[in-house]
Amino acid sequence: MIIVTGATGKLGRRTVERLLDRIPADRVGVSVRDPRKAQDLADRGVRVRQGSFDDPDSLVHAFEGAEQLLLVSLDRTGGECVTGHRTAVDAAVKAGVGRILYTSQMGAAHDSRFQPCRDHAETEDMLRATGLPWTALRNGFYAASALQFLESARPTGEITLPADGPVAWTGHDDLAEATAAILTDEGRFEGPTPPLTGPEALDFDTVAEIATRATGRAFTRTVVPDDAFREQAVAHGAPAPIADLLLSIFAAARNGEFSAVDPTLAELIGRKPAGFESLLERAWDA
């Protein structure tokens, strides 16, 4: 059985759907905080069990019988994130899981300028220490993050952000399809994968050009100092740690941490991954 955590989230849910395209529902299980949100999956024959990263015993129960476990990284940062991941990894070992696959990120490194990438590196270390077979899916930076940054520019056409660098923005749908492919072809990767990226790395100057072309409206890119961006984010209600986290994306991008483009994702899904322009059009047409 393949067990997926976070199966009601953006990546987890899409991955479950792609798995159901490939294997019978009775071979798929999910671990979710609120089973009511996965009732439709239960109705289709998926095993649904409650599991919380704050409740080790619930995870051991949710992971029971897993030949493979897809551990979707938590939407937390720092010690809180790593502690939750450790709880899940320990539960996987206790439950006798055969292989752990973990949604890491391109750029995962202990010296990254982006806190989540440091969290991913620490989690990969704990996976390595289990002695179990494991795979770290080095996912490209989610294009949804770039689209969030663009939201404030939609009314005005003014993209006002700190200096950045090229980022291989990557779509959730393509990553979910690749994850399902890896899960159903066990042993394809040992340890970290190559970066699983979209077809090109773009900075926000290029994103502005793409938005102009896609919408027929003029979008302009203005660089603001880091301090001014942080002050503006806090003034608009972002807690200071969140403002710092957002700012660190740009620092890491300037450092080239998300600039790699690799063919592995295309090979896994059998086609060219969606480019940023098509992802933008799809999101803004929705």
DSSP-assigned letter for residue 195: P
What's the pLDDT score for residue 285? 87
C-alpha to C-alpha distance for 53 and 93, rounded to whole angstroms: 14
Residues 6+ away with beta carbon under 8 Å from 239 = none
Rounded mean pLDDT, 51-77 = 96
* Helix spans in 106-171 (H): 115-130, 143-151
pLDDT at 152: 87
- Parse the chain into domains and list their residue ranges: 2-139+172-196+261-273
Residue 186: pLDDT above 90?
Answer: no
pLDDT in tens, 197-253: 999 999 999 999 999 999 999 999 999 999 999 999 999 999 999 999 999 999 999
Of 53, 42, 41, 33, residue with least CA distance to 14: 41
Residues 255, 124: Cα–Cα separation, whole Å: 22
DSSP structure class, residue 273:
P
Stretch (H or E) spanning 267: helix 264-269
Mean pLDDT over residues 117-137, rounded? 97
Residue 20: per-residue pLDDT: 98
The two tokens of residue 234 are 């806090």
| 170 bridge partner residues | 142
| 10-59 confidence digits (pLDDT tens) | 999 999 999 999 999 999 999 999 999 999 999 999 999 999 999 999 99
pTM, two decimals, is 0.95
Q: What is the pLDDT of residues 250-272, one digit of tens each?
A: 999 999 999 999 999 999 999 99
Specify whether the CB–CB gap between 84 and 53 falls below 8 A: yes
Asked if residue 187 has pLDDT above 80, the reply is no
What count of Cα atoms within 13 Å lies in the side-chain half-sphere of residue 191? Answer: 6
Spatial CB neighbours of 9, under 8 Å, sequence gap ≥ 6 = 72, 75
Question: Which class in CATH covers the domain with range 2-139+172-196+261-273?
Answer: alpha beta
**CB proximity list for 17: less than 8 A, separation 6 or greater:** 176
pLDDT reading at 196 higher than 70: yes
Tracing tokens 């939201």 back to the chain, one arrives at 151
Mean pLDDT rounded to a whole number for the chain: 96
* SS3 assignment, position 276: helix
- Are 153 and 211 a contacting pair, CB within 8 Å? yes
pLDDT value for 286: 66
Residue type, 236: H
